[in-house]
Chains A and B, each alone.
Chain A
């Protein structure tokens, strides 16, 4: 039987990792993430968790070790925050490019300088192009649940996944969390078959790809990440049968016929519930559209949730310096002015010729291409 225990987001992550049949944990401490890996190390040393803990000298090495273990077929977890995540940046691409279903918790913390240990999402949002699935949890229960969902999702689509949570406001704020007993075992023990390192059948990893090979590999990776939207809904349904808790890429709270939508993620999305209630009391028809999954970006869900509103107000606990709030920009890009079409072109040095561009432009004008596309394979 599940039971409610008072715990913070970090505790909840550690408990979920303990229950997730994780084989390897490789991590380096950093505030406000440290209590996750302290607790996991404690579980392992007490024999409550049968996993190997790899101590490393930096976050870059933490991810490198995670990659090695994952290629060897292990289920791998790591956790980091802020500067640590930034130090991992290069290897984040290696993990996703090798299609390794590593799961990571990130405690969202502002980036230095000046030094700060407090909440901000610029650290993980600036990793949005690394090919990782990204979730943003608003409370400790969500961190716990999303960790299980992340393993299943990552392993199904062969894309690594990150569960992000605001430092202190989610990681250390303690509240009742419903913790499973054995009822989650069947759900989380499912491991997908995948290509792993086999010493009897050696293969090379990380080979050079010429332009004609690079671009299709990247597009395949992109398709895999995009497919995570639908796959997530399937896995979330399975999870709901066990937990009675519903998860989706976005969720809507408040007046369904709202004139104004508030968009937020993480801890701000929690507070927004109160703001929406108060606005509704003031006879302002408002609703909250909470973004739980940022990669793949929930474009369709947002288009649906925002189609009838007059105004949209976005609260971004992050900043793209020289531009502004990152989520506001991404939402605006998804709703789209309808006279702009984007082509992804020339990845990995693939040639982009004037003929390609002329044809693409004509296809847009004739209406043959109606939405964002790739410029590829037409030479």
Chain B
């Protein structure tokens, strides 16, 4: 008898709660677009925040409901992006494909780390923010990278390591330009730059040249030699610091050779293929336009009607002649 009451009581209770819940799930249903869920599954799920939304769920909702572009995600594989576009019917209209710019983090400091560049030995909490609080860091240069790896800790993709000389090294293969390290650096030394660009100013010091020379061998002194030598008007000196305009820079390296402090460096990127111009001599009419337009004297010719040719080794692949040739007989090809 007892067991019967027990079973009944528990059974009825379970039944009542079940009924209430199933009623509530209908009554209080909140409609969620199933596309949000599907989009979320295609996103990388790293929740890095590189898109500017709070995590992947935030971006998924924005893509579906507010029409945000899936290209906002810098991490996603092209294949998944296509799947999302298919899912939402985004690529019905064939928009002209714009070449995507893949950026990577760039650390704008190349300072040395021997004792003569130190004020004291820092022994505190291994964190850049903490080190800055103590006498603005252990280095003589007030702009030098602390080298304690706050950017390393902030990177969700394991793309930064502290290399030799207490300076972070970015693995560009892994870097997806989410910008976490940019925010983490207390000295604002990190910038996101197109991965294809090879020439960089590795300094962030806005001090006067005299001050910089006292505390660093490779800091920018704002002498302006690079500005003069740049044929593309791509370098400016502001506040005693050279800035490269990456839109204009073609990576010719003229400033690298001229820089007295060796602040401007050219990266040797093994998987970066530079390109050079090639002139189709059949089609060339010897108009001398390319000869005049070339800023590196890399084109033979000059007398009218003489066929032009590229001087090997001098062409930096800026592509100016390709644009200007009236006969469209110059092409860019990969080096090597």
Q: Is the A/B pair a real complex? A: no
Q: A residues bordering B, Cβ < 8 Å? A: none
Q: B residues bordering A, Cβ < 8 Å? A: none
